[in-house]
Amino acid sequence: MKDSFIRKLSDYDGIVIAGAGLGHVSSTTKNALKELIESGIYVYMVTQTLYGRVNMNVYSTGRTLQEIGVQGNFNDMLPETAFVKLSWVMKREKRHEKITELMNENIAGEITEKTVLL
């Protein structure tokens, strides 16, 4: 993703990003994401894989995302599920800390307690 695309998301209250592998995006987008977060936009990371969790602790890009305020570490929601959930949560809550708490809570079976390897 280019910075110019990320900046165009500034009209939204919250966004879900489907990152690669363990939940990462290009390190070049970190400044644009940081600007969004600092402007009050909630950013939640999911992975594109069907099985497995986001783990932003493995690579430096993921750790940087956490440092700038991207949320979602260790979740295993599908992107579409996270989008619907974020929409539902943000309709009820505006404080980022509470949004994160609700996004990380298993409300309707959207987050597995344990990932099973097939």
Residue 92 maps to which CATH number?
3.40.50.40
> 14: which 2 tokens?
């919250």
Residue type, 88: W
In a domain, 116, yes or no: no
In a domain, 118, yes or no: no
- In contact, 90 and 55? CB cutoff 8 Å: no
Cross-strand partners of 19: 47
Indicate the pLDDT class of residue 117, thresholds 50, 70 and 90: low
In a domain, 112, yes or no: no
Domain carrying residue 20: 3-103
In a domain, 66, yes or no: yes
Segment 37-92, tens digit of pLDDT: 999 999 999 998 888 899 999 999 999 999 999 999 999 999 999 999 999 999 99
In a domain, 108, yes or no: no
In a domain, 83, yes or no: yes
Q: Containing H/E element for 103?
A: helix 96-103
Q: What is the pTM of this model?
A: 0.92
Number of separate domains in the chain:
1
In a domain, 117, yes or no: no
